[in-house]
Amino acid sequence: MSEELTERVLKTIAQAQRIPVEKVKIDSTFEELGIDSMDGVNILFALENEFDITIPDEAAKQIRSIREMVEGVEKLVNDGGNGSAAAPVAAL
């Protein structure tokens, strides 16, 4: 997992949620951070804009933690950002 990418994801989530970036840890769950489904949609849009990627809806529904989000974003970025590959977004 790239440290730079991880930091960008954490920062993007913190900004989208308007919480201090120090509160967003790689092992945090959405529940721990008070992130509900509407917040999740806003975070997905923010991440898509930040990384110029498309996060598939079905993959997004499976995400429950910051680590899963980082891993999914990293896989999409490495695959060119289109989310069309079947295997990479299973974790996202």
Catalytic residue numbers read 36
Q: Are 46 and 12 in contact (CB under 8 A)?
A: yes
Helix (H) or strand (E) holding 11: helix 3-17
Amino acid at residue number 6: T
Alpha carbons within 13 angstroms on the beta-carbon side of residue 91 total 12
How deeply is 71 buried, as exposed, middle or buried, from its count of CB atoms within 10 A (0-12, 13-18, 19+)? buried
